[in-house]
Amino acid sequence: MARQAQERIAIMGDEAVALAVKQSNVDVIAAYPITPQTIIVERLSEYVANGELDAAFIQAESEHSALSICVGASLAGARVFTSTASQGLALMHEIVYATSSMRVPMVMAIANRSLNAPLNIHCEHGDVMPERDSGWVHLFATNVQEAYDLTFIAFKLSEHSDVQLPVSVNLDAFILTHSVEPLTPISDDDASRFLPPRQPLYSIDFDNPATFGTMALPDTYMEFKYQLKEAAERAGQVYPKVAEEYARISGRRYWYFNSYMADDADAIVLVLGSTYGTLKAAARRLRESGLKVGVIGLTMFRPFPENQLVELLKNAKSLIVMDRAYSYGGLGGPLYMETLAMLYRNGLRVPAMNVVYGLGGRDFRLDEAESVLKMALDGARRGRFDEHVIWWGVRA
C-alpha cells in the first residue's frame, strides 16, 4: 500500500511524544508530573478527557507508584506508557529493575535532566545512566522528529515476541522537550497498521493462574538473569527489522546510530542526543575546508551496538567520545567507558579521549563543536591524546 502523504506541523518535543503515544492507541497511562516531561502527560490527559484517546489516565501519587501501576496494567495485557525525568526516574529505580526482570513490555519517555544537588532542571544524561544496566532498551533521539518516530518503534520493539522488554525513549530536557521543530507525522491509519492492538504472550488470567515476580533462591536466580541477558541481546537483533517496517510507512529510516561523513573520516566524534545536530553542522563546515572529520550520534545505547560501531570505526585514526554525564570516581563518562571496552576487545588501537560537557544544561555552541572536531583531528595527526578525560568549559 502506498504511503500516505502527511502535512508537516510545528510542534514541541514533549507534544510530539504525546501525539505518537495517542496514535499508538495505548490502553493505560500512569504518570506523576515533573519538569520537563509534564507537558507529555498533560497533553495525553487532554486527549483522554476530550475523547480523542480511549485510555485510562491515572495520575499516581509518585513516580514509584506510576511505574508500579504500569507494571500491573501491562501484566493484565494492556499497552502502557509513562514518562518521567531526573528525581522521578531515581524514585522509580526499584521498579525499573522489577519491570525488566519480569519481562514487562512498556514504553517510558525520559526527558533527560540533571539530578540534585544542586537543584537544576536542565539537560543531562546522568538520570538515565544509573538505569543502563537494568535490562531496559534505551533509545536516544537527536531531534523532535526522532522522538516522535522512536516512540512508535519502541512500542513495537517492546512487545515483540522475541523481546518482551521495557523500552525508554530519551530526549534532551528543554533542548528537545520544549523546542518547536518541524515534524511530519504518520497517519492514524498507518499507525494502527504498524501497531495493532496488543496481543500479550503472557498475562494475568484468573482461569489459568501464573506466578509473576516470584522469589528465586540461589539455585534459580542466575537463570532468570541469564534469560534477561539473552532477551536484551535479541532486542538488538530485532530492532533493525522493526525500524525497517516503520520506514515503509514513514519514509524515515533508523539504524543503531546516525552518522555523518564517518565512513572515510580520520577523526570521529561519538555522542548521544541532540548535540549530534550541532556537531553535524560543525563537521559540514570543516569538510568544506577539506578536513576529514565525521560524527556518530548513537540511537541505541542499550543494547550497545558493538559490531556495527566496530565496522564504522575500524579505519578511524582518532575518536572523541562526548558524555553529558560522568561516572564519579570512575574512568570517565559512561559512553566513553563502554566505547573503550569495545575498542579494546576488538583490537582497535584508536586513540580515544573523553569530553564531558553540558552538565546541567550548559550550552554547547557551534564554535565549540568545531573546536572539539579540530581536537579530534589533532589527535589523529599525532596518533595520541595528551589527556584521557577533559571537562569542557569548566570555569577556573
CATH of the domain spanning 9-250, picked from 3.40.50.970, 3.40.47.10, 3.30.1360.70, 3.10.20.30: 3.40.50.970
| Residue 160 pLDDT greater than 60, yes or no | yes
pLDDT, tens digit (0-9, with 9 covering 90-100), for 230-259: 999 999 999 999 999 999 999 999 999 999
Top-tier CATH class for 257-391: alpha beta
pLDDT, position 39? 98
| Residue 5 pLDDT greater than 70, yes or no | no
Mean pLDDT, rounded, of the chain? 97
Q: Break the chain into its structural domains and give their ranges.
A: 9-250, 257-391
Number of Cβ within 10 Å of residue 124's Cβ equals 24
pLDDT, position 6? 77
pLDDT, position 3? 53
Query: Looking at this protein, which amino acid is placed at residue 376?
Result: A
Mean pLDDT of 334-358: 98
pLDDT, tens digit (0-9, with 9 covering 90-100), for 247-293: 999 999 999 999 999 999 999 999 999 999 999 999 999 999 999 99
C-alpha cell at 190: 498507518
| Residue 2 pLDDT greater than 60, yes or no | no
| Residue 117 pLDDT greater than 70, yes or no | yes
Residue reference for cell 517496517 = 245
pTM of the model: 0.97
Mean pLDDT of 75-102: 98
